[in-house]
Structure 1
Amino acid sequence: MTTPHGRTEPWIDIEEIVDQVGDIAEIYLVPTGPHSWDLSNNLPAMTQVYGGAGRVYPVGHEWASDPRRSPLRFAYSAAEGPKSTTALIDDALHMATEAGLFDNVQTTARVRLTGVVVGIVADRAMVKLDGRVGIVPDALAFPGLPLERSLQPGQEVTGLYDADSRWFDVRESRLEPDVALSSYAADDVVLVQVESVEADRASVFLHPLVTVDVTHTAVTSNPLDDLSDLLTPGEVLPARVLATGGEWHLSLLDIDDDEEPVAAAALFAGGPPWLVAAIPADVSEQAAPATAPIEVVSFDVEIDVADPHAETHAPDAPVNTPAPAGPSPAMFDRSRAVRRRPMPEPAEAPAGPPAAAVESASTKSMSLTIASLQAEVRTAKRQRDEVHGQAQGFAIELEHLRTELRQVEDHVRRLTQQLEQSRTKLRKSRATSSPTDAPAFADPERGFRFLVERAWATRIPAAEQPTCPLGDYSMGTGFLGSLDALHGLATDRVADVVMEVVTGKAALSGGRELHQLRTDDAGGSPQRLREDGARAWRVSLQSNTPAARRLHYWVLPDGSIELAKVGVHDDMRI
């Protein structure tokens, strides 16, 4: 940490930092001045620290060539001090975790305990232990992930508790990725987060420790599209699981807006989903927040001119001014004060002419001296006023620049959100084949069969098609008529679900809500049967929408499918 210009203490709370991370980091306070300039001259470009800012340097030397590994934290005022203090503590915790320092800590106070999360406050989870409270920062849960996506109130966790710092390390309680993802099944729609995007491929996080490569054809049906125009790093979006297990396959194609993704995997037993569906951001113009005023250092200088006829008092004894102290962890003494430098004692006047003559000459000389000093005082005051005015001007200009910076940052944020929303709309427009892409058929049944087969060829990878064939199916006399009468759902969507039914994938997808169509609403009622032995089934075309559509079909004794009708949720006819 460093001190601001004109202050002996930083706005950053050093005592808090020492208390929180003093056992894993060496902490220094460097006064801004000769020491900070000397330090800056010996550090690589973009890694210096001075003027009241703070910086944490990680283990190793990678930060010397990549300054982003050691971010600079500014504190221009008392209002900004707490934020920078917390940021520096978090930086130290993350760097110590990455370097394995917590794994090497061996103290008698570090014991394994089990507790319950009681809340999350100021980026810290509070865990009620046996008569104690443990504090969990994100670095000791899942580094780089907000705590709200790892832990939640009421959740039980086990970890290592340090009585000195009260840090509670719960990383050992994390679920293995294959265990966390075990609930995902083929054809499920799940949430993923975009990691990186190139023109012809992308990578997404299925789990913070599991990345899946997504091919160009799994994102858009247009071979000329650049994926960087459709996806944004960090964006959360739905994807369909094509294959699970050791090698995951995902597709972003043919996912309707009303198709509800399954809950994202939890990273800890009993924890919250690590991802939630994105909520469209409000990108309207907002007023910039108020900023704490900048403390302006006063340059007022009081210059007193002594009266030559006034009684002269002996000055205080000279005080020896110590040399500036060097940077040290012990520079936390708040009792230091600046002392005035004593005025030099006047020299004894030599013997001279008689008193009257001396007084006349002395008075004349002193008058000239006073006039000269008064002129110098007026000049010094003018210079003082100019410097003070310049300082005030610089402070106002700095305040304007900081306000302008915030406005630019807000504008960039809004534009980034608008860009992400535009990419999402463009991706959705390319993710589903338009009905105009399908050839026209005079025979409606043949046209619908084309859409079903196209869905099969599009969504089932070629390598899996031999083991996932398109089963035999027929259409009942009223099916196409009910399809023509259906409003609010594209025929392509119905063909998609029919493909899932005839391949058996609908039975593997919880979102399809496949179940028997019973004789009445009672839960224990028997399944509807036809005279030829066919059994009635029902599957969801939509979910979480008013009058959600359903598909009714028969499974014949030979195992083939007969499509009966499409209708709304409350229509139980077949």
Structure 2
Amino acid sequence: MTGLSGTGRVAGAVSPPTGVRRIRSEAEASELAHWLLMRGRRWPVVVLTIPGEYDEPFGDPDEIKAAVGDLAEVVLMPTSDVSWAFSRVMPPMTPVYGGAGRVYPVDHAWVADPGRSRLRFAYSPHDRDRITDQLINDALQAAMAAGLVEPRTRSGTQERSGRVQGVIGSRALVTLDDMALATVWEELTVPGVALDRVLAKGQQVCGSYDPDSRRLDLRAALRFTDAATARAGVEKAYGVGDVVLAEVAAVADDAVTVRLLPGLDVEVGREAVTSNQKDTLSGLFSVGETVACRLVAVDPMRLRLDDVDDEEVPKPAPSLLPGGPPWLRPTEPAPQPPAAAAPSSPASVPPVAAPRLPVAPAVAPRQPTPLDLARRLPTPQPAAMARPAGAVPAADQARVLQLTNELAAERATRKVLADELAGLRARAAELEAGLAQATRSIEQLQTRYRGADLARQRLGKELRSMQGRVGQPAGTPEPLFLDPEEQFRYEVSCEWAQRIPAAEKADKPLAAYTLAPGFLDSVEQLEGISRAKVIAVVVEVLTGQAQHLAGRDVHPLRSGDAGSPYVRRPDGAICWRVALQRESAAARRLHYWRTHDGYEFSRVALHDDYRP
């Protein structure tokens, strides 16, 4: 056995063992754990366990090995003292036993973050296909992450073309031009993207064909392989102002990151999603869902989610392979409950019944006591204990009887625990189903809430527009005061009264302010910005809100480009500027002086105008 490990592994091997390795002893299990923790391991390892009271696993190790080939090692281990020896060496939350399986990647990030090595459960032989497919998927993804399945040319590989016959789960069947059959694997296309978003029935494909595994590798034909090609794809498929689809890649309380194409993520701040400052975006979005947004700019890439009307149809998303389906599709609308008899406002949302999760028993099942177990034991028969005089010492007879009783008690305990374990597994399956249902309901509620919030914002704009047009023959507000400054102050007060809730008015009063000579003239003369927008931003400045709004970009005014000194008056007041618009040289800015007594609004100017 020189040069071989306890599991038959050759020291210094450059590829995984060709067959399934069986762990039979505690020493082999301990060695396996040390092997998994070894730095420099070259391939992922799939560990599938055999549940207690069974001779074979619930998953299929041979099918897993056939699928992963030389990309991963497959190990089979029983649940017994052997798995306990394995667990003693492994870090917390990383062992596997009881019929479950796990893939240990090459990257050791899973040691500190066990979630990177997902534990796959199986509760009965009925779970065979599910856990087998899960472990195959995990192993192939780990192999891709390790760089073991990069597109490569090797002997026997052929460039072949064919037509997709259908997509079933994570596999696609392709009929090649010579009528031979090939398969495309989801894990070997675009990581994290379902195969039916890459391929469609009838699609013509071309790739690298491996006759041994009959796999067709299509990665060389992918249209978007990095951020640069993805950005070029977005610029070609969409125009500024288009409503487009994106996939939620990450979400935090104040920002959501969406993916326009694999490799191209865009962060969208709260101000471009909702005007309700109490909303947390982590409560409005779920990772993986598809959302509609408006493309505002391409350099840099900017999106908004707060001005997409329900009636607007998003532009079709690009396909990842030539002739393929759009890689994103609009989310199906959630089913609506029956309309209530009472009338409702246009922005109201019908209530949705909360998902009904399985309810756990109020009292946990009682554990068997030693007396319960003893009552289940067979009563020893006197005849069975009759021995010829002197044949067996009395002490040995007592010891044999004690061991017999202990063995029977142990068997009874194991039987009770096995029954309880089966019940817990069934309960876990129910909870998993309930969790999936709750997750779907949450996503539907989030989508409907965002729709209602957009409707509220649109109605608010329409209401303000209608209020501004009442009694106006030509679209210009009819002044209520002869003095322009009194009219401006009146409009500021009205905006503050309508904008600030009653409960917050005491905490957000209007600060004292004055209007510099020429300020009102600059408001009237500068085109491209509405008077209502200027008044709204003035209220934000006077109530201290502008400082906390990322879109306002409040900062002291410099006398020129970056690095120039700040503009300061002899009395010590500093000139500040706040954004009325964003992302262009012609974007409008509001200039004001911050004085000891309050604020003095100076003028409205263009972005590149540095005059105070």
Contact 2:68/2:139 (<8 A) preserved: yes
CA offsets 1:411-442 (integer angstroms, 9 cap, x no match): 43344334333333333343324144454443
- Give the alignment partner of residue 81 of structure 1, picking from 117, 128, 149: 128
Contact 2:51/2:98 (<8 A) preserved: yes
- Cα–Cα, structure 1 residues 194 and 212, in superposed 2: closer, same or farther, change >3 Å? same
CA offsets 1:244-270 (integer angstroms, 9 cap, x no match): 3x4322111222222211212211111
What residue number does 2:256 align with? 202
| Alignment-mate amino acid for residue 265 of structure 1 | P
* 1:205-224 superposed matches below 5 A: 205-224=259-278
- Give the alignment partner of residue 419 of structure 1, picking from 442, 446, 450: 442
Contact 2:157/2:211 (<8 A) preserved: yes
Contact 2:239/2:295 (<8 A) preserved: yes
Matched, 1:139 2:196: no
Give the secondary structure class of the aligned counterpart of 2:150.
helix
Matched, 1:58 2:58: no
Contact 2:231/2:264 (<8 A) preserved: no
* Alpha-carbon offset, residue 132 of structure 1: 2.0
Contact 1:140/1:168 (<8 A) preserved: no
Distance 1:306 1:107 in 2: 76
Contact 1:186/1:242 (<8 A) preserved: yes
| Alignment-mate amino acid for residue 463 of structure 1 | E
- Give the alignment partner of residue 424 of structure 2, picking from 401, 405, 410: 401
| Alignment-mate amino acid for residue 470 of structure 2 | A
- Give the alignment partner of residue 35 of structure 1, picking from 72, 75, 82: 82
Contact 2:242/2:314 (<8 A) preserved: yes
- Give the alignment partner of residue 269 of structure 1, picking from 310, 316, 322: 322
* 1:445-460 superposed matches below 5 A: 446=474
| Alignment-mate amino acid for residue 284 of structure 2 | L
* 1:131-280 superposed matches below 5 A: 131-176=179-224, 177-178=230-231, 180-181=233-234, 182-244=236-298, 246-280=299-333
Contact 1:194/1:205 (<8 A) preserved: yes
CA offsets 1:517-573 (integer angstroms, 9 cap, x no match): xxxxxxxxxxxxxxxxxxxxxxxxxxxxxxxxxxxxxxxxxxxxxxxxxxxxxxxxx
What residue number does 2:471 align with? 443
What residue number does 2:364 align with? none
Contact 1:117/1:152 (<8 A) preserved: yes
Contact 2:355/2:438 (<8 A) preserved: no
What residue number does 2:142 align with? 95
RMSD, aligned α-carbons: 4.1
Contact 1:113/1:160 (<8 A) preserved: yes
Distance 2:445 2:142 in 1: 36
| Alignment-mate amino acid for residue 222 of structure 1 | N
* Alpha-carbon offset, residue 118 of structure 1: 1.0
Distance 2:301 2:408 in 1: 72
Contact 2:377/2:409 (<8 A) preserved: no
| Alignment-mate amino acid for residue 155 of structure 1 | Q
Relative contact order higher in (CA < 8 Å, ≥ 6 apart): 1
Give the secondary structure class of the aligned counterpart of 2:125.
coil
- Give the alignment partner of residue 120 of structure 1, picking from 152, 167, 181: 167
| Alignment-mate amino acid for residue 462 of structure 1 | R
- Cα–Cα, structure 1 residues 224 and 69, in superposed 2: closer, same or farther, change >3 Å? closer
Comparing 452-461 with 429-438, greater Cα deviation is found at 452-461
* 1:284-295 superposed matches below 5 A: none
Contact 2:355/2:441 (<8 A) preserved: no
- Cα–Cα, structure 1 residues 444 and 127, in superposed 2: closer, same or farther, change >3 Å? farther
* Alpha-carbon offset, residue 445 of structure 1: 5.4
- Cα–Cα, structure 1 residues 56 and 225, in superposed 2: closer, same or farther, change >3 Å? closer
Contact 1:149/1:274 (<8 A) preserved: yes
Contact 1:189/1:262 (<8 A) preserved: yes
Q: TM-score, normalised by structure 2?
A: 0.57
Distance 1:381 1:455 in 2: 94
- Cα–Cα, structure 1 residues 80 and 201, in superposed 2: closer, same or farther, change >3 Å? same
Contact 1:156/1:270 (<8 A) preserved: yes
- Cα–Cα, structure 1 residues 428 and 52, in superposed 2: closer, same or farther, change >3 Å? closer
Distance 2:77 2:281 in 1: 48
* Alpha-carbon offset, residue 205 of structure 1: 0.9
Distance 2:476 2:166 in 1: 54
The alignment-based identity, stated in percent, is 34
Contact 1:180/1:267 (<8 A) preserved: no
Contact 1:194/1:232 (<8 A) preserved: yes
Contact 1:284/1:414 (<8 A) preserved: no
Give the secondary structure class of the aligned counterpart of 1:125.
strand
Distance 2:382 2:239 in 1: 90
Contact 2:164/2:174 (<8 A) preserved: yes
Contact 2:293/2:305 (<8 A) preserved: yes
- Cα–Cα, structure 1 residues 240 and 113, in superposed 2: closer, same or farther, change >3 Å? same
* Alpha-carbon offset, residue 306 of structure 1: 11
Matched, 1:462 2:575: no
* Alpha-carbon offset, residue 122 of structure 1: 3.5
* Alpha-carbon offset, residue 150 of structure 1: 0.8
Structure 2 unaligned regions, length at least 5: 1-47, 225-229, 336-352, 359-375, 479-527, 537-550, 552-579, 589-612
Give the secondary structure class of the aligned counterpart of 1:28.
strand
* Alpha-carbon offset, residue 403 of structure 1: 3.1
Give the secondary structure class of the aligned counterpart of 2:50.
coil
- Cα–Cα, structure 1 residues 307 and 415, in superposed 2: closer, same or farther, change >3 Å? closer
* Alpha-carbon offset, residue 9 of structure 1: 2.5
Matched, 1:9 2:76: no
| Alignment-mate amino acid for residue 142 of structure 1 | V
Distance 1:287 1:411 in 2: 5
Distance 2:257 2:276 in 1: 19
Q: TM-score, normalised by structure 1?
A: 0.61
* Alpha-carbon offset, residue 97 of structure 1: 1.4
* 1:329-348 superposed matches below 5 A: none
- Cα–Cα, structure 1 residues 404 and 9, in superposed 2: closer, same or farther, change >3 Å? closer
- Cα–Cα, structure 1 residues 441 and 364, in superposed 2: closer, same or farther, change >3 Å? same
* Alpha-carbon offset, residue 199 of structure 1: 3.0
What residue number does 1:330 align with? none
Distance 1:456 1:250 in 2: 24
Contact 2:222/2:321 (<8 A) preserved: yes
- Cα–Cα, structure 1 residues 228 and 267, in superposed 2: closer, same or farther, change >3 Å? same
| Alignment-mate amino acid for residue 158 of structure 1 | C
Give the secondary structure class of the aligned counterpart of 1:27.
strand
* Alpha-carbon offset, residue 94 of structure 1: 0.9
* Alpha-carbon offset, residue 219 of structure 1: 0.9
- Cα–Cα, structure 1 residues 440 and 173, in superposed 2: closer, same or farther, change >3 Å? same
Q: Which has the larger radius of gyration?
A: 1
* Alpha-carbon offset, residue 210 of structure 1: 1.0
Contact 1:204/1:213 (<8 A) preserved: yes
Distance 1:96 1:114 in 2: 25
Distance 1:54 1:271 in 2: 34
Distance 1:445 1:428 in 2: 34
